Amino acid sequence: MGFEQVSAIRCFGGVQRVVKHDSRETKTPMSVAIFEPPGAGERPLPVVYFLSGLTCTEQNFITKAGAQRVAAELGLYVVAPDTSPRGAGAPGEDDDWDFGTGAGFYVDATTDGFRDHYRMYSYITEELPQLVHAELRTAGPERQSVMGHSMGGHGALVIGLRNPERYRAISAFAPICAPSQCPWGAKAFSGYLGDDREAWKAYDASELVRSTGHPESILIDQGVDDQFLAEQLLPERFAAAAEAAGQAFTLRMQPGYDHSYYFIASFVEDHLRHHAARLAD
């Protein structure tokens, strides 16, 4: 089943849409925001996926980041999916803000109660691109890239590193860089993947970058005044692993910035230009 339109709003000469569909991976309805730049439908255009963070929906990025003006100029589709299944009925999925609903962590769960619905890795890498390329006039799966914020920054790093042939560029705002080593990640991975820490490594960018790389430099922006920096985000651990592995990256520590969408809005243009340069023919 294809996309069903929920809303369509004119924006910078393009259209900001929200659509929904029944997902085969999560077995729930899923909502997706899609910005279509001017000229969409008239010529093939590349796609940038934006993955949001904890507690977010498909709405946060499109209402707070201010990305549409730049995406319109650059001729980019920007696709921002929801962050988890909703109403799946998994045990305790609505008990905490950092696990379950709104906190899918972009993994394919293997534990009882979660494995049937919490399949956000396969949803983002397989099902959603298939729908996007079928429903929109894109430049095809060979011209797509991925970016994200916080939990979504973790997702972008992991997805891009595990599939370098399918995502031409990776960038992240304040990503959870070493989830196996921080409270958010340990809680999520225990709940979704069980207690085998070896299995966690497949979804930990600081572990992945040691053995798999990306041909393009990875861009990361991190606010120095981010309240989660020291305990949860750990960019220095990714930087050390990437440097040791020879992975090109740029880590920009931005003085005075926190974890909010004000931070994202301040640098989203840089990120979209980073992607556009690598998505060009």
Q: Is 259 a catalytic residue?
A: yes
Alpha carbon separation from 202 to 78, 193, 264 (Å, rounded): 26, 10, 27
* Strands, sheet with 14-22, edge to edge from the N-terminal-most edge strand: 4-11, 14-22, 29-36, 77-81, 47-51, 144-149, 170-173, 218-223, 249-254
- Which residue in 108, 204, 221, 226 is the catalytic one? 226
Q: Is 226 a catalytic residue?
A: yes
- On whether the CB atoms of residues 55 and 77 are closer than 8 A, the answer is no
Q: What is residue 263's three-state secondary structure?
A: helix
Tokens of 117: 């619905």
- Which residue in 149, 154, 259, 274 is the catalytic one? 259
- Which residue in 23, 52, 145, 150 is the catalytic one? 150
- 82, exposed or middle or buried, with CB in 10 Å at 0-12, 13-18, 19+? buried
Cβ neighbours for 79, distance < 8 A, ≥ 6 positions apart: 32, 33, 34, 35, 47, 48, 49, 50, 128, 132
Q: Is 270 a catalytic residue?
A: no
Cβ–Cβ contacts within 10 Å for residue 41, how many? 10
- On whether the CB atoms of residues 101 and 94 are closer than 8 A, the answer is yes
The set of catalytic residues is 150, 226, 259
